[in-house]
């Protein structure tokens, strides 16, 4: 897979990543509700990754190029 080159491509790439992360968040909630396992660590990772993706997206939006 080639890396995105333009600002719009980068934003789209991170947006897709955020969508996949939201899907993971949903499945972690489902696993918790079904009492499959303790997902608290997974949920912390999801939150941290979500913050990073948001920060990357904001940096791209605020950049000059």
pLDDT reported for residue 65: 60
d(CA 46, CA 40): 10
Q: Give 64: exposed, middle or buried? Use CB within 10 Å, 0-12, 13-18, 19+.
A: exposed
Domain boundaries, the chain: 7-62
pLDDT at 60 over 80: yes
d(CA 30, CA 33): 5
d(CA 49, CA 57): 12
Query: Each residue of 45-57: pLDDT tens digit?
Result: 999 999 999 999 9
Which residue blocks in the chain are alpha helix, DSSP H? 7-33, 40-62
pTM score: 0.79
**Residue found under tokens 């947006």:** 15
């Amino acid at each position: 897979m080639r890396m995105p080159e333009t600002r719009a491509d980068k934003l789209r790439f991170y947006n897709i990543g955020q969508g996949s992360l939201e899907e993971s968040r949903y499945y972690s909630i489902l696993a918790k509700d079904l009492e499959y396992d303790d997902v608290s660590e997974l949920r912390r990772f999801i939150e941290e990754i979500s913050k990073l993706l948001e920060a990357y997206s904001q940096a791209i939006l605020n950049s000059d190029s």
